[in-house]
């Protein structure tokens, strides 16, 4: 059964049916003779609109009655916990964005592009590397370029397409890191590095982003967005000044920002904890991240972290599934939302993070 997880403005969750589902159930019951006439629609008192919510509800599927019953219990527990982080407005906002990302990813519209830059450690205005990793969807049936009359996007079988790359600047070949930041420029693990003249490097980045932003919503994915956004501004990428957070309503063409650092803070229940990408991947059990601080590798694993969180269960259920019984105990038996990490979880700190 598919239902929808909604977050109302005070941070509480609601499991909801869509109006379409309710209408179908009314007419199904009547058509099979189980009611003498169609049941009336529920009172508008029970109707939640987007104005009542922090963002669009995210679809969630339960295979058995037991799963649905447990989900309702989890919602009840969550709503009791809301007061434990009500004073942390940053965490509340991060939790809302986490569910928006899950919802929008599930629509399989537009493109998601994780990007990362590396600069010279002795002068951060010198950009030496750019890495990108893109996920988009296209129809499985070859030759399908537009929907048939009456056909909806979610009725078309789609396949995921992954594209990625690593570009370096020819003029800055001698500007190497290794004292304060790892030097892994030559260790791209997902293809061949392209060495480009500085002018071409700048032009290619602008064209890449502009292409997908024009075709539909483009979600630029960062791990700690501030430094990378500054580099995009330095390169004068078109549209970057208008970079937006994911809105409440389904977005149209343009550029939108997603930060996996904030998403993981929401997942572990601590807005003050800002973890590096390597640590996030380890805690999410994403392995193979052997050459950090190569812009191409960092972009690849930023996308892997996003995918792991965006395709998982709703936030609180996902946290409990990943780290069972590791949240703080508050008020006796009531559990909070902050994960209490074990030494085993955190025993591989990296000196560069």
pLDDT over threshold 90, residue 76: no
DSSP run (H or E) holding 69: helix 65-85
Q: Cα–Cα distance between 278 and 115 in angstroms, integer?
A: 15
190 exposure class (CB count in 10 Å sphere: 0-12, 13-18, 19+): middle
Share of the chain above pLDDT 90, in %: 57
Residue 198 pLDDT = 97
Residue 351 pLDDT = 42
Residue 29 pLDDT = 93
Residue 90 pLDDT = 82
Residue-wise pLDDT tens digits, 173-218: 999 999 999 999 999 999 999 999 999 999 999 999 999 999 889 9
Residue 353 pLDDT = 39
3 or 246: which leads in pLDDT: 3
How is residue 265 written in tokens? 């803070």
**Superfamily of domain covering 106-319:** Ribonuclease H-like superfamily/Ribonuclease H (3.30.420.10)
Cβ proximity of 106 and 317 under 8 Å: no
Cβ proximity of 318 and 309 under 8 Å: yes
Q: 276 — phi, psi (to 5°)?
A: -70, 165
Instruction: Give me the mean pLDDT over the 146-166 stretch.
Output: 76
pLDDT over threshold 70, residue 84: no
Helix (H, G, I), strand (E, B) or coil at 265: helix
Q: 304 — phi, psi (to 5°)?
A: -65, -40
Lowest mean pLDDT across 129-143, 149-163, 243-257: 149-163
Q: Cα–Cα distance between 224 and 241 in angstroms, integer?
A: 17
Residue 332 pLDDT = 52
pLDDT over threshold 60, residue 148: no
What is the radius of gyration, based on Cα positions, of the chain? 23
Residue-wise pLDDT tens digits, 6-44: 888 777 888 999 999 999 999 999 999 999 998 998 887
Residue 232 pLDDT = 95
pLDDT over threshold 90, residue 52: no
Cβ proximity of 41 and 23 under 8 Å: yes
Residue 154 pLDDT = 57
pLDDT over threshold 60, residue 151: no
Average pLDDT of the residues of the chain? 88
pLDDT over threshold 50, residue 335: yes
Bridge-based pairing of strands 123-139 and 217-222 is: unpaired
Q: Cα–Cα distance between 180 and 183 in angstroms, integer?
A: 9
Instruction: Give me the mean pLDDT over the 224-232 stretch.
Output: 94
Residues sharing a CB contact under 8 Å with residue 347, sequence separation 6 or more, in sequence order: none
Lowest mean pLDDT across 29-33, 249-253, 288-292: 249-253
How is residue 330 written in tokens? 């508050």
How is residue 81 written in tokens? 């916990």
Distance of CA 242 to the CA centre of its chain: 20
DSSP run (H or E) holding 116: strand 111-120
Residue 294 pLDDT = 98
Domain coordinates in residue numbering, the chain:
2-89, 106-319
Instruction: Give me the mean pLDDT over the 119-134 stretch.
Output: 97
Residue-wise pLDDT tens digits, 158-170: 999 999 999 999 9
- Split at pLDDT 50, 70, 90, the class of 334 is low
Lowest mean pLDDT across 47-56, 75-84, 207-216: 75-84
Instruction: Give me the mean pLDDT over the 75-93 stretch.
Output: 72
Helix (H, G, I), strand (E, B) or coil at 217: strand
Q: Cα–Cα distance between 52 and 18 in angstroms, integer?
A: 14
pLDDT over threshold 70, residue 296: yes
Q: How far is CA 307 from CA 219, 228, 286, 310, 347, in A?
A: 13, 20, 11, 5, 25
Q: Cα–Cα distance between 295 and 167 in angstroms, integer?
A: 8
Instruction: Give me the mean pLDDT over the 278-282 stretch.
Output: 96
Instruction: Give me the mean pLDDT over the 104-128 stretch.
Output: 95
């Amino acid at each position: 059964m598919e239902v929808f997880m909604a977050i109302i403005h005070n941070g509480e969750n609601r499991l909801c049916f869509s109006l379409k589902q309710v209408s179908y159930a009314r007419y199904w019951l009547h058509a099979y003779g189980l009611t003498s006439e169609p049941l009336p629609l529920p009172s508008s008192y029970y109707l939640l609109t987007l104005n009542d919510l922090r963002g669009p509800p995210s679809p969630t599927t339960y295979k058995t009655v037991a799963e649905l019953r447990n989900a309702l219990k989890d919602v009840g527990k969550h709503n009791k916990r809301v007061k434990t982080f009500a004073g942390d407005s940053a965490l509340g906002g991060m939790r809302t964005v986490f569910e928006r990302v899950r919802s929008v990813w599930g629509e399989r519209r537009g493109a998601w592009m994780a990007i990362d830059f590396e600069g010279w450690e002795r002068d951060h205005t010198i950009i030496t590397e750019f890495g990108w990793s893109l996920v988009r969807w296209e129809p499985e049936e070859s030759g399908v370029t537009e929907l048939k009359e009456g056909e909806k996007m979610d009725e078309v079988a789609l396949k995921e397409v992954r594209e990625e790359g690593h570009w370096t600047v020819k003029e800055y070949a001698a500007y190497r890191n290794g004292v304060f930041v790892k030097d892994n420029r030559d260790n791209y693990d997902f293809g061949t590095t392209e060495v480009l003249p500085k002018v071409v490097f700048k032009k290619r980045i602008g064209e890449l982003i502009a292409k997908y932003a024009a075709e539909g919503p483009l979600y630029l994915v960062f791990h700690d967005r501030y430094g990378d956004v500054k580099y995009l501004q330095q390169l004068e990428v078109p549209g970057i000044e208008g970079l937006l957070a994911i809105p409440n309503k389904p977005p149209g063409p343009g550029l939108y920002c997603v930060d996996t650092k904030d998403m993981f803070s929401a997942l572990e229940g601590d807005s003050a904890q800002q973890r590096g990408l390597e640590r996030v991947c380890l805690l999410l059990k994403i392995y193979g991240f052997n050459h950090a601080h190569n812009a191409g590798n960092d972009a690849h694993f930023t996308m892997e972290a996003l995918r792991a969180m965006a395709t998982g269960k709703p936030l609180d259920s996902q946290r409990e599934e990943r780290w069972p019984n590791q949240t703080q105990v508050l008020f006796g038996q009531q559990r909070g939302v902050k994960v209490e990490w074990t030494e085993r979880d955190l025993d591989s700190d990296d000196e560069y993070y």
